[in-house]
Amino acid sequence: MAKKKSDSTTPAKTPAKSTAKSGGGKKGGGGDGNGSSQLPLSSGDSVQPIQLQDEMERSFLDYAISTIMSRALPDVRDGLKPVHRRIIWDMDQQGFRPDRPYVKCARVTGDTMARYHPHGDGAIYDALVRMAQPFSLRHPLIDFHGNYGSPDFGPAASRYTEARLHPLAMQLLADIEENTVDLMPNYDGTTEEPTVLPARFPNLLVNGSQGIAVGMATSIPPHNLGEIIDATLHLIDNPEATVKDLMKFVKGPDFPTGGLILGRDGLTEAYKTGRGSIKMRAKVAIEEGQRGQMRIVVSELPYQASCSAIAARIQELVDNDGLEGIADVNDNSAGGTTNLIITLKRDANANVVMNNLFKNTQLQSQFPVNMVALVDGVPRTLTLKDALAGYVAHQIEVITRRSQFRLDKAKERNHILEGRLKALNVIDEVIKVIRASEDANAAKEALMSKKFGFSERQAIDILDMQLRQLTKLSRIDLEAEQKEIRAKIKELTAILEDDKVLRGVISTELTKVRETFATPRVCQIAADVGEMGVEDLVEDKELVIVMTQEQYIKAVSADSFRTQGR
């Protein structure tokens, strides 16, 4: 394979057109006599030999890194992929906040694509909708107005739906204007976007994440906000805590669709190694119908299971004689509520039918855990402690940067107040000098002279005030404000100098988020009954084993003998 490289010193010549025709036997121009045409290289061109294998490796690696860094994997610090982060940032910049009216999703999608994420409006809208779906995220980040879909059906088109930021999303953005995170140029350099959000709660574990990159994938289940914050608070106070210690607070994933998690073995493995499998089961109840027939009622499904797909699968099993004892299947789910009713035949054993349903349908399924996220820009498989420790480290940096920003502002304000109080002591002379000066520069130089000793910033502040404002300055008000500012400076200095105080600030802010947004668990954890054997799938009834004179053996129901009076 050859790569053509233009010489910078010699202008490229226009190659002559080939006169060869397809299928012609006459050679001409750059033709090879077989109907193809080759353009001759000009004398100013050079040919650089390249190994095909090397070029493929380089190109594939570039593509893989781009996919990993820019699309598929979340960041351990804020738990977001770039597309989600850009949507939230754009909505905040455009003012689509919880206290503002809803706006068309088409507007959000188009603006995000134009300013930050040039990868197609379909992918952006899908990401926007997912952040609003209560069956996808344990704690949605987008407040949606319209049809956001269901596990069975997609959402309405973006021109019909509306959205704005959820109050919880504002906690991800909190204090971003105070230099808490780095900003970088967007794809065309016309504006800036954050490399990560400040994130006042551990969103990676709270809402989970799923994605497929090149050569790797991530699958992190959602958790309960209150439990995750409690574990984070424990880790802040006890940095040496183990995964076992943290699992006293984190009972397990809290899937938004409810249902049951069976056993703790899979949970322990997933939290200790970052990989594992969690067994999920639907919440079912056996009830008696109006006509005396027993029925199985499904009210909660495993995470990401489709009620309509389960109903279709049951019907398929019944039609193919793969499942006995079912008379009818009705999916009455609506409005986000699951209500799947399986009516049984009169002679059916409800427990046997239910066990068969668990074995052959999505009423029982596995959630594969693969906790992969970006840590310092590098994909890593995380344990429960790794994920929480990555978040705590991020918060330490965020609070440090915010405190330094506020301290600089407070010191600047204190410096201004000192100048104003100093000016009050010589207010008549200050006014006299200002009036006598030819222009602002002359007045500034006079105030900065040895006679007064104002700094340049203080002199500018005094000159920016009107004379009537200068004369009305209140010493009591200035001294009260200065006292408040100095107390703030002392507090911020303590945060920056004492790690214990800094960690206390993080704990306080996490506690406020928990008190405001935490909700009880919706997914319960039950003991695992183990794998179902053949005896669990077959009805237990009396049989008579008969052997004939011809040495044939068969099993006959005992009821048959009673019916025949034998």
* Residues carrying an active site annotation: 160
| Cβ neighbours for 454, distance < 8 A, ≥ 6 positions apart | 419, 422, 423, 447, 448, 462
Give the CA distances from residue 190 to residues 114, 184, 288, in Å, rounded to whole numbers and listed in that order.
Answer: 11, 11, 66
Q: Which tokens belong to 482?
A: 């200065």
Distance CA 407, CA 404 (A): 5
Classify residue 517 as exposed, middle or buried by CB count within 10 Å of its CB (0-12, 13-18, 19+): middle
- Burial (Cβ within 10 Å: 0-12, 13-18, ≥19) of residue 504: middle
Q: ∠ CA 502-506-512 to the nearest 5 degrees?
A: 145
Q: Is 238 exposed, middle or buried (0-12, 13-18, 19+ CB in 10 A)?
A: exposed
Those residues with Cβ within 8 angstroms of residue 473's Cβ, 6 or more apart along the chain or in another chain: 420, 423, 424, 427
DSSP per-residue letters across 146-214: S----SSSPPPPTTT-EEEE-HHHHHHHTTGGGT-S-EEE-TTSSSEEESS---SS-HHHHH-EEEE-S
Asked if 353 and 343 count as a contact pair (C-beta separation under 8 A), the reply is no
